[in-house]
Amino acid sequence: MSRDTILLDHICEVEAAALMRGGRLEDLLVDVDAPRPGTIYRAIADRPIKGQGGMFLRTPDGPAFLRQVKGLAPGQVMLVQVTGYAEPGKALPVTQKLLFKSRYAIVTPEAPGLNISRSIRDEARRDALLEVAHAQMGGDAMGLILRSSCADAEAGEIAEDIRAMADLAAAVMADTEGEAEVLTEGDGPHQLAWRDWAAPADVITAKGSFGEEGVLDALDALSGSQTPLSAGASMFIEPTRALVAVDVNTGGDATPAAGLKANLSAARELPRQLRLRGLGGQITLDLAPMAKKDRRQFEHALRAAFRGDNIDTALVGWTPLGHFELQRKRDRAPLEIALT
């Protein structure tokens, strides 16, 4: 078997997908009763918010909030796309920069040009992919990005994917008249797994596979705030309404390098924990004590860890109190909400 296993199952009749790597839960997607990221609306401008440079919009699923609305007027019809999950009590975050994303292709109506993922470095392969892109999009005003999953894919599959996304984009972009309406739904967990987990993997679709393959046991471990780290260290991940607090402890290690070792271990594990727990927004790290000269080593480890994560995360930096702050996109619902 390959190192990766993708499981498509349900949790309490709710669609879910899990990615196991080397027997460990690496990623988890759970559907929730909320508009999915990627959903596209025909929305109606409602009222501007002075001082914030934004405007509330009317959608069939409730109010949405759009930033950078210069030139928009109340009553104006526009197409917007959900960018993430709303915080409790807040409007849906949306954007006017629509993306039509599939396994191999991303069609960008407002950003013309043909682009290939920088992770594909073989020049002969890039040239072959450009030929496919020109054949499908030649003369089209919309833009196209070919994803890293195109590296080993068949040309026919890529072409079919491009054409499907381009046709969908053309149909949606032309549907600009009428009342507020859902034009396309965002992808669910099983579709997202097919779309984004493109590395070679064994796929298991049998009912009950979550229990048989250890996913449910891993979820039990995620129900608490404590996460064990190497050498007896640990970190506690506790979401509040304002931010996510992460506290790193050295445990029983009393050696001079204990703090640095615990913090480096936390840096390597943090992206996985935030991904599995569905946490985003402002994140503050209260690290174990370490010398200021070790901060750069910690930052390098943290940056390397998040480089392999597919959720946008900004490493903001140090506070006067010695905490480290991050800002992470809320493109998943918190696990505690998803499982209730």
pLDDT along the chain (340 residues), means of 10: 85 95 95 95 91 88 88 91 91 96 96 94 96 90 96 96 97 95 97 94 96 95 94 95 96 91 98 96 97 97 95 96 96 86
pLDDT recorded at residue 72:
84
- Residues 42/50, Cβ–Cβ less than 8 Å: no
Residue 160 makes CB contacts below 8 A (sequence gap 6+) with none
Whole-number Å distance between alpha carbons of 303 and 297: 10
Query: In the CATH hierarchy, which top-level class contains the domain 224-338?
Result: alpha beta
Domain boundaries, the chain: 40-97, 100-176, 224-338
Q: Token pair for residue 231? A: 């050498």
Q: What is the identity of the amino acid at 270? A: L
pLDDT recorded at residue 1:
45
Residue 1: its H or E element: none
pLDDT recorded at residue 73:
86
Whole-number Å distance between alpha carbons of 117 and 91: 33
CATH 2.40.50.140 for domain 40-97: yes
DSSP letters for 215-258: HHHHHHHHTSSEEE-GGG-EEEEEE-SS-EEEEEE-TT--STTH
Residue 140 makes CB contacts below 8 A (sequence gap 6+) with 166
